Amino acid sequence: MLGEKHARTLLEGALSACEADQAEVLLVAEDSALTRFANNTIHQNVAERNASLQVRAVVGKRIGVASTNSLSAEPVRRAAESACAMARFSEEDPQFVSLPGPSGAIAPLPGTYAEATAAATPAQRARAVRAIIRRAKDDRLVAAGAFSTSEIEMAVANSLGTFAHHAATSAEANVVVMGDTSTGYGDRAGVDVKDVDVEALAVEACGRAVRSANPRPIEPGEYAVVLEPYAVAEMLDYLSYVGFGALQLEEGRSFMAEKMGHKVAGEGITIYDDGLDPRCFGLPFDFEGVPKRRVDLIVDGVARGVVYDSYTAGKQGVASTGHALPAPNTMGPLPGHLHLQPGDRTLEQMVAEMDRGVLVSRFHYVNVIHPLETTITGMTRDGTWWVENGEIRYPIRNLRFSQSVLGALSSVRSVGREVKLQRGWFGGSLVPALSLDRFTFTGKTEF
Amino acid sequence: MKDIAERALNQAQLAGASYADVRVIHQRSETLSVKDGRVDAFARAGSEGFGVRVIAGGAWGFAASNRLTTAEAARVAKLAVAIARASALAKTSDVRLSPLAPMRASYATPVRRDPLEVSVEEKLALLMKADGAMRRVEGLAVAESSLEAAVEDKLFASSEGSVIEQRIVTCGAGIEATAVSDDEVQTRSYPNSFGRQAGTAGYEFIEGLGLEENAERVADEAVQLLSARQCPSRTTTLILDGTQLALQVHESCGHPIELDRVFGMEAAYAGTSFLTTEKLGGFRYGSELVNIVADATAPTGLGTFGFDDEGVPAQRTPVVRDGVFVGYMSSRETAPLIGQESSGTMRADGWNRIPLIRMTNVNLEPGSWTLDDLIADTDDGIMMAVNKSWSIDDRRLNFQFGTELAWEIKHGKKGELLKNATYTGITPDFWAGCDAVCDARHWQLWGTTNCGKGQPGQTMYVGHGVAPARFRNVRVGIV
């Protein structure tokens, strides 16, 4: 770890080497390790130390970005000079207003760093993996997965006086267990490696595999579904990708474009982004050093807002919500800490309340078919069951779905009361299970 | 670079590694994007570091660092051995590698113009001209154009005595035109979706793409698609152009022939494969017209190199011959498990990642038709072009693709433009329905720049050479 003082010195050095009208330096440094297993044995086991220092130089309205992964003085100076030279060679972006100004001292976010995670050893990860494998073997299953620990440090400074620094840790484990005719999945993530309960994870995954053995085929069609949180989180990620950013909204590519203030989902659906919630790998500021704000996206089924970075906020004359991605960013701002507000049902109650339908553990290989209609396709995976008269009757073979996410959310029957943390790229989401009256399956596969 | 490699190899062996290799890599890259007449992104990045891979106690360990000093090389090598010994705590058997004669060699991508040496002014002018041509089309909402280039210098050295230096140069470019109405967003890409067409080549590759020449047509198609008829739902004859067929090969053939997937090594993330080892040499993958090779030697292919990241020379491996499945892509660890030697397909996406079995250029061999004759020979069907969406199950059987473009084919003629086209199928059934492949004049290598695999995630550049082909009895227009 560099620490705040060293990081500030590095960033100030880069800023002083950048002879531009405005300049920004983003530093991300990482120490990470991942132990991977398959066929009940560790087959890949890696560790990495890396960093990225990125300089964004602004000359007039011309912008250049240069980065290096070496934090020595000379490469950092070269990156700063290169960014300035690139800005001078580039063409103007008339829509650029300014880098964000300072927003005062940014309070550290408690609960995002754990010494135990930073100190985790290869042997510790191997022992955790061995515990998962042992449990799988007890059920005559074959386990594959990964256990990772990482320590990450992020700092942003700009020539207008912005400075922000944050250190965090994360520990994650995931496992797929395989039997002759079925598979089961589970994952866990946390800031503290001690909170990643691999025994519970193994029990969960093995239970799914055992309960989904010998699946029967069913015909595709429209069914009621209960989606476990793994599936809900993936569905929400795609909804966010096609709709919750200011750039998509501005260009008319977002489903929110003509629907702000209108009903887009069932009343039980409230979705917001909150990077300040430490339960989902919180981050006090974005990649421009702007403090994160909670943003209501859909409230009681009504479209309420999107997230902004300084560029899109500048164009619209509003304040950035602290959702910038690293420059140069052609995708626009995106949420990184989605929350779907929990309801009042247990998963068991949701199944018990279903007449006929499908219980889905997880989706696989999801992709967008129609962004404005929020239609996505993908497969079920690692445990799918047929439910009748409130009881799980038998496991079924995997199905392909093609479904509008908003259409599905408009048919919400109930929302689960327990939320699950799903790790994202630089944050995480907290989502419950959902019971939906209508979900369209359009194909089937052979297992 | 060599002092780092020597120190790492020495230290690894001193610490007890029975095998060690090291890759020291310098990578430089550049991205330039133009959007609606302004520069949307202009970035240069440099990345350097080394990764040490060892076998100790019969198990794998790997560690990597961005600090290029001999002291760090020693620390990282020792860490790699410690990690291998931790791996051994949960091993079922010792890792065995297929034999490989040590070699001292070098390879460099043939390049006429180094893409990183071409001036920014020249690159911007190219993109701005295409941007201007797109924006002249009335009704267009967004015009985007971009190019990327990278030069990677890497040194591979192993405890078996190999020392291999390579310079891999990649570049590519593309344009995207987007039209928007109240209920539709339609994007047209050229030459390919995913931002660009790319290859291992110099800037001459980008100059030959004809971005400006095709910009107006592509923008016009995006606007036309807003009012096009929805692709109907039915089972029919399907003709795929090269861009879409390249991704079909990628997902339904390229991934299932990765031998690590077959042995369950990717089960937790990307999945496994229906092409299990008992099928090798006898399973009917497709019709007799289907011939597929994995070719790391194809000029300008995005999966072309001199040696893989285990130091194995690039090869051309038959995968499907006359419709029968005959070969995998393999590594030094997996090949012996089926009594073979590595087919040389191990690649890492940087110094900080381990090599995995990755597609090289997985190519569908040309057939005998011209595209005009193929369309004329089709009484009733749909032609689809340029990928828009993709999805396939975790054993690579049930797939669904969407394309940017589709046309009705009636009585041997390409007719009405259709929007939001999709098709679905089961891999061997789909390829069994292939009854025509266009000839070598229509064959082109397409670059796929976003192939994901592994934990931690890796993104690899791979290639697919294809000519348009026809498939019978395909379900289209999925609703």
Distance in angstroms (rounded) separating the CA atoms of residues B5 and B158? 9
For chain A, state the CA radius of gyration: 23
The domain ranges of chain B are 2-227, 230-476
Statement to judge: residues A386 and A295 lie in one domain: yes
Per residue in B27-84, pLDDT (tens digit) is 999 999 999 999 999 999 999 999 999 999 999 999 999 999 999 999 999 999 999 9
- Does A238 fall in a domain? yes
Interface test with B, best of A121, A177, A370 (most B CBs within 10 A): A370
How far is residue B263 from each of residues A444, B4, B194, B337, B431, measured CA to CA in Å? 24, 34, 30, 9, 24
Residue with tokens 């100190």: A119
How far is residue A109 from each of residues A115, A168, A276, A387, measured CA to CA in Å? 15, 9, 7, 43
Per-residue pLDDT of chain B (479 residues; tens, 9 = 90+): 889 999 999 999 999 999 999 999 999 999 999 999 999 999 999 999 999 999 999 999 999 999 999 999 999 999 999 999 999 998 989 999 999 999 999 999 999 999 999 999 999 999 999 999 999 999 999 999 999 999 999 999 999 999 999 999 999 999 999 999 999 999 999 999 989 999 999 999 999 999 999 999 999 999 999 999 999 999 999 999 999 999 999 999 999 999 999 999 999 998 999 999 999 999 999 999 999 999 999 999 999 999 999 999 999 999 999 999 999 999 999 999 999 999 999 999 999 999 999 999 999 999 999 999 999 999 999 999 999 999 999 999 999 999 999 999 999 999 999 999 999 999 999 999 999 999 999 999 999 999 999 999 999 999 999 999 999 999 999 97
* B392 vs A contacts (CB less than 8 Å): 365, 379
User: Is B417:B406 a contact under the CB 8 Å cutoff?
Assistant: yes
Per residue in B320-354, pLDDT (tens digit) is 999 999 999 999 999 999 999 999 999 999 999 99
List helix spans (H) across A139-228: 198-211
User: Does the pLDDT value for residue A258 go beyond 90?
Assistant: no
Cβ neighbours for B468, distance < 8 A, ≥ 6 positions apart: B239, B240, B241, B242, B245, B371, B374, B437, B438, B442
Cis amide linkage into residue A328, ω under 30° from 0: yes
* A63 vs B contacts (CB less than 8 Å): 39, 42
* A82 vs B contacts (CB less than 8 Å): 44
Statement to judge: residues A31 and A145 lie in one domain: yes
A174 close to B (CB below 8 A)? yes
The secondary element (H helix, E strand) that includes residue B245 is helix B242-249
Statement to judge: residues A436 and A301 lie in one domain: yes
**For the domain that residue A145 is a member of, what is the CATH number?**
3.30.2290.10
For residue B217, which amino acid is it? Answer: R
For chain B, state the CA radius of gyration: 23
* B180 vs A contacts (CB less than 8 Å): 251-253
User: Is B437:A16 a contact under the CB 8 Å cutoff?
Assistant: no
Phi, psi of B275 (to 5 degrees): -85, 70
Q: Which of A50, A328, A379 sits opposite B43 (nearest CB)?
A: A328
Q: Which of B91, B390, B456 sits opposite A367 (nearest CB)?
A: B390
Neighbours of A215 (CB within 10 A): 18
- Does A271 fall in a domain? yes
CB contact under 8 A, A42 and B43: no
Distance in angstroms (rounded) separating the CA atoms of residues B425 and B119? 47
- Does A409 fall in a domain? yes
Q: How far is B326 from chain A (nearest CA, A)?
A: 23
Q: Which of B38, B64, B144 sits opposite A94 (nearest CB)?
A: B38
Per residue in A187-235, pLDDT (tens digit) is 999 999 999 999 999 999 999 999 999 999 999 999 999 999 999 999 9
A127 close to B (CB below 8 A)? yes
Compute CA B402 distance to the chain's CA centroid, rounded to the nearest angstrom: 18
- Name which CATH class applies to B2-227: alpha beta
Q: Which of A142, A175, A330 sits opposite B40 (nearest CB)?
A: A330
Statement to judge: residues A244 and A314 lie in one domain: yes
CB contact under 8 A, B63 and A47: yes
User: Does the pLDDT value for residue A376 go beyond 90?
Assistant: yes
Reported as half-sphere exposure (CB side, CA atoms, 13 A), residue A110 has a value of 0
- Does A210 fall in a domain? no
pLDDT of residue B9: 98
pLDDT of residue A425: 81
How far is residue A210 from each of residues A141, A201, B24, B283, measured CA to CA in Å? 9, 14, 46, 30
pLDDT of residue A426: 82
pLDDT of residue B229: 97
Cβ neighbours for B276, distance < 8 A, ≥ 6 positions apart: B262
> In the numeric block, which tokens belong to residue B27?
């990578």
Structural domain boundaries enclosing A336: 215-447
A377 close to B (CB below 8 A)? yes
CB contact under 8 A, B83 and A45: yes
Statement to judge: residues A237 and A330 lie in one domain: yes
Residue of chain B nearest A63, judged by CA positions: B42
Number of folded domains in chain A?
Answer: 2
Interface test with A, best of B44, B226, B259 (most A CBs within 10 A): B44
CB contact under 8 A, B47 and A443: no
Statement to judge: residues A320 and A171 lie in one domain: no
Per residue in A125-174, pLDDT (tens digit) is 999 999 999 999 999 999 999 999 999 999 999 999 999 999 999 999 99
Q: How far is B430 from chain A (nearest CA, A)?
A: 13
| Residue A395, beta-bridge partner list | A385
- Strand pairing class (B346-347; B59-65): unpaired
CB contact under 8 A, B83 and A44: no
> In the numeric block, which tokens belong to residue A80?
């700063």
User: Is A289:A100 a contact under the CB 8 Å cutoff?
Assistant: yes
Distance in angstroms (rounded) separating the CA atoms of residues B414 and B422? 18
Domain boundary among A170, A205, A240: A205
Statement to judge: residues A54 and A124 lie in one domain: yes
Neighbours of A5 (CB within 10 A): 9
Distance in angstroms (rounded) separating the CA atoms of residues A223 and A377? 15
Statement to judge: residues A292 and A163 lie in one domain: no
E strands, B393-433, in order: 398-410, 413-419, 421-426
Statement to judge: residues A281 and A178 lie in one domain: no
CB contact under 8 A, B268 and A366: no
How far is residue A313 from each of residues A104, A155, A254, A324, B307, measured CA to CA in Å? 19, 22, 16, 10, 48
CB contact under 8 A, A95 and B128: no
Statement to judge: residues A293 and A411 lie in one domain: yes
Residue of chain B nearest A91, judged by CA positions: B39
Per residue in B285-305, pLDDT (tens digit) is 999 999 999 999 999 999 999
Distance in angstroms (rounded) separating the CA atoms of residues B146 and B126? 10
A62 close to B (CB below 8 A)? yes
Give the residue-averaged pLDDT of A422-443: 95
- Does A248 fall in a domain? yes
Neighbours of B355 (CB within 10 A): 23
Statement to judge: residues A349 and A420 lie in one domain: yes
Statement to judge: residues A191 and A266 lie in one domain: no
pLDDT of residue A84: 96
